[in-house]
């Protein structure tokens, strides 16, 4: 998403910065998950994620489509974390539930922020450029 937004013909470098920072935050979350699994004396198994099967397009029509796609992905991640939380509950694993609670709260905040961005963008076309400037 950041790559698309930073293209010269798109020209939304502020939004690109926002999405790059968001991607870095997601990498940090992956690191925390990995550390947690290791601390629990389990094994981290990483698999390739093929871009074609990720469901994330490389091209978008506009910033609205980028944000809608981001919201969709955040909701998918939330569903996966909820499923893990449910499994931890079923297994009476309070430690894992507690670990996941922080991530669930972050997901709520992320989706809320993206939805607010979407709402602001739909209010006025000039909002795209004003918001882009805010993120720089």
pLDDT in tens, 86-99: 999 999 999 999 99
Q: Which residues are annotated as a binding site for Fe cation?
A: 26, 29, 74, 107
Domains of the chain: 2-135 (1.20.1260.10)
Would the pLDDT of 62 be above 60?
Answer: yes
**Cα–Cα distance measured from residue 43 to residue 34, given in angstroms and rounded to the nearest whole number:** 9
Q: Over the stretch 94-123, which tens digit does the pLDDT of each residue have?
A: 999 999 999 999 999 999 999 999 998 888
pTM: 0.87
Rounded average pLDDT over 51-60 = 69
Q: Would the CA dihedral through 103, 106, 110, 115 be positive or negative?
A: positive
| CA–CA gap between residue 15 and residue 97 (Å, rounded) | 33
Token pair 């980028």 in the structure block, residue: 66
Binding site: what residues are annotated?
A: 26, 29, 74, 107
């Amino acid at each position: 998403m950041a790559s698309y937004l930073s293209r010269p013909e798109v020209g939304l470098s502020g939004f690109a910065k926002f999405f790059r920072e968001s991607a870095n935050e997601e990498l940090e979350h992956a690191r925390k998950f990995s550390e947690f699994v290791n601390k629990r004396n389990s094994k981290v198994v990483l698999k390739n994620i093929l871009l074609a099967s990720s469901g994330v397009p490389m091209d978008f029509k506009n910033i609205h489509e980028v944000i809608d796609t981001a919201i969709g992905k955040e909701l998918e991640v939330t569903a996966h974390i909820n499923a893990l939380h449910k499994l931890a509950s079923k297994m009476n694993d309070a430690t894992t539930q507690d670990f996941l609670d922080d991530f669930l709260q972050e997901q709520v905040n992320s989706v809320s922020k993206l939805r607010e961005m979407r709402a602001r963008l739909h209010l006025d076309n000039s909002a795209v450029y004003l918001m882009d400037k805010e993120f720089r």
